[in-house]
Structures are given as C-alpha cells and as structure tokens.
Amino acid sequence: MSLSLTIPAPIAPPTPGAPGQLRHLLGIRGLTRRQAEALLDQARLCKAARHAPAETGPSRPLAGRRIVTVFYEPSTRTVQSFHAAAAALGAQAVDLPVDRSSVHKGERLDDTLETVAAIGADAVILRHPQTGAAHYAARHLDVPVINAGDGTGEHPTQALSDALTILERRGRIAGLKVAIIGDIRHSRVARSNAHLLTLLGAQVWLSGPPTALPPAGIPGAARVARDRAEALDGADVVMALRVQRERQASGLMPPAAAYRAWWGLSAEALEQCSPDVVVLHPGPVNRGVEMDGELLADPRCAVRQQAANGVPVRMAVLLTLLARGGDRSWSMCSSAAGW
C-alpha cells in the first residue's frame, strides 16, 4: 500500500497540559504525573465496573458518541481494545479500512481525517508510520485525537496498559527496577514506557544491541545499561520488545539466532532478576526471538494481562476525553475524570 506521507517535519512536541485541559492524548510526554495517575485510577475503576454484575454495572456514559479508528499500520490488540472499550461505554466504534480507502487513490492524511470528521467523529484514534502524525492530526481536527502509535514516536495507551499491569502485579511502580530490552531505538512502546514509568518513580534501564539504542535523547529519566546483565540484575519488571524490522535499515540488528542468544528472554536469563519478576511484551511476540515461547505460559509472564488491560485503559482515555459534565456522574468511573 502506498501511503501519502504529507506531514511536514519537524513536528513540535506537545506542550504540557494543565490539569483539566487534556484535549487529546498524543503522548506520555506532556502529561503531568497527576494526569497519568488519574488515567490509571480511572482505568482501575473502569475495569471493576466492566466486570460488575449487570444490575450494578456501568451505564452507557458515551451513548450516541462515535469514535473512528484510522490505522495506517496493522494492529490486533490496540484496535480491538479501542472497539471493546467504546462498546463498554455505549459509544459506537467504526473503523476506516485504510487499505481499501481513498488513501489508495493518493488522498493526503489531512484530507482523509477531515473527511472522517465531516462525516461524523467524536474522536479519532490514529496509527500511522510517520512520527508526529498524531500531533499533525490534532492541529487539523476539532475533535480529540488519540495517538495509537506514530512511527518511532509514542504509543501512550500501550504504556498505560503496561503500567496498570505492573500495578496489579506488584502493587506499586515507584521504586521498582524496570528493564526494557531490545530494539529501543525504533520502539514507540519503549519511549512511552520510559516516560511514564520514570514519571511514576520507577528506575528504568534500557538495554539492546548497540545499533538499536537511541543515538541521542534517552527518553524520560531512563538509563542505558552497560550490558544486558546490568539491566536484568535484580529487575522487578522486564519488558521485551518486538524487533521493528519495518522501521530500520537492514543490517542494524543481528540475525534472529544471535539476537535470541544475546537479548532474548529465557527462563535462564530471568534467573538474574528478582524472584517475582513480571515479564511483559507489548505483542506481537516473535517466539524464540525476543522471548522463548514457553515463557508465555510462565506465571511470571503478564503478556495476556497486558492485552486485557488495554480495554479498561482505553475506556479511561475515552471517558476522560469525551465525557461531558453530566456524564461524569457515571457512578463507578467518575472519580478521576474531572482533574
């Protein structure tokens, strides 16, 4: 599929929003600690509400609202959980099938998005291969834009899902040692997690092949470990990353077997970590490359929980960006919406 990459560079980073002024969710960078914590609180409430018995469960606070997912890159978890989150809140979720759309006829990103908004969208959820695309979209649209992954930029709702999973498994984030292992340079998941987890008080260590470390600008207050052993030593959380072959020049990464030997997670590699280490991977997992397939069934592995937590996190984001004054009375999901 040919994409019309019509976004001018450079894209300005988001300006930090004051509490109460979050209009879009473009990245973790730009959120205050209070905003991040409020989103996580809201996600926990949404999770509880979603699993509550029907008679005490949530009402439909976003009934009559329409969200549109516009994904220029493949997705399973993110798009599915946005649709599930919208349904849980009573909103209608519609997908623009980009590879069967006028994008194929050469339509520019801003024209496509403005058309989607004109037909009717209360929020646009955008995934795009170009870093900064969500910021660009936010400048063109009057409705909230949620970044569902922009190139090597950010993937804020994935980081929030990961943080919720860590909170559920370990009860806290502050003070934990988190090792993020792999293709850091090309990973928007690593960037958003480094920002979020350091914002919430974790010590984040990055480790990967030297060619896959960021050439400049380590995200958040993360540190680069000398080697993998330094990153894994006593780690409370280990996050493996998918090798982003679609975003890199050939030759940057070692072949799969060498990658597994040096950077892949195995039961043996986990022996260096804390005994109750939590193993994460945003998915999709290349079994036998970033982690051994058996680890997916290991009780220390929270990969399926991460995916499940994508739903309450995205409910929290939709509710926070879209709930009108009256909707905030929604009994079980209202506490954090009004920061």
- φ, ψ for residue 211, nearest 5 deg: -75, -10
Query: Is 181 among the residues that bind ligand NCD (CB under 6 A)?
Result: no
208 near ligand NCD, rule: CB under 6 A: no
Among 17, 90, 283, 288, binds ligand NCD (CB under 6 A): 283
282 sits near ligand NCD (criterion: CB under 6 A): yes
Q: Which is nearer to ligand NCD, 78 or 320 (CB)?
A: 78
C-beta of 315 vs 333, nearer to ligand NCD: 315
Cβ pair 191, 218 in contact under 8 A: no
Which of 131/158 has CB closer to ligand NCD? 158
Residue 254: is it exposed, middle or buried by C-beta count within 10 angstroms (0-12/13-18/19+)? middle
Q: 6-17 as b/e, with b when 16 or more CB fall inside 10 Å? A: ebeeebeebeeb
Cβ at position 214, least distance to ligand NCD in Å? 16
The nearer residue to ligand NCD, 58 or 220, going by C-beta atoms, is 220
Least distance in Å: CB of 223 to ligand NCD? Answer: 22
For residue 94, the cross-strand partners are 68
Beta bridge partners of 224: 206
Radius of gyration of the chain (CA): 19
Question: Binding ligand NCD by CB under 6 A: which of 14, 61, 144, 149?
Answer: 149
Distance between CA atoms of residues 144 and 131, nearest Å: 18
Q: Which is nearer to ligand NCD, 27 or 149 (CB)?
A: 149
242 sits near ligand NCD (criterion: CB under 6 A): yes
Helix then strand count (H, E) for the chain reads 10, 9
Torsion, Cα 183 186 190 196, to 10 degrees, reads 160
Q: Which is nearer to ligand NCD, 189 or 194 (CB)?
A: 189
Total residues in contact with ligand NCD, by rule CB under 6 A: 10
Q: Shortest approach of ligand NCD to residue 159 CB, angstroms? A: 10
Q: How far is residue 123 from each of residues 55, 110, 152, 239, measured CA to CA in Å?
A: 29, 15, 23, 30
C-alpha to C-alpha distance for 140 and 290, rounded to whole angstroms: 38
State the minimum distance, in angstroms, from the CB of residue 339 to ligand NCD.
26
Q: Which residue of 155, 177, 185, 191 would you call a contact of ligand NCD, by CB under 6 A?
A: 155
**Does residue 228 bind ligand NCD (CB under 6 A)?**
no
Token pair listed for 186: 């090309």
The closest residue (CB) to ligand NCD is 242
Measured from the Cβ of residue 29, the count of other Cβ atoms closer than 10 Å reads: 19
Taking CB under 6 A as the criterion, which residues in 64-93 touch ligand NCD?
Answer: 77-78
DSSP assigned state of 75? -
By the rule CB under 6 A, 30 interacts with ligand NCD:
no
DSSP one-letter code for 132: T
For position 189 contacting ligand NCD by CB under 6 A, the verdict is yes
Determine which residue in the list 50, 185, 188, 195 makes contact with ligand NCD, applying CB under 6 A: 188
| Binding footprint of ligand NCD on the chain (CB under 6 A) | 77-78, 149, 155, 158, 188-189, 242, 282-283
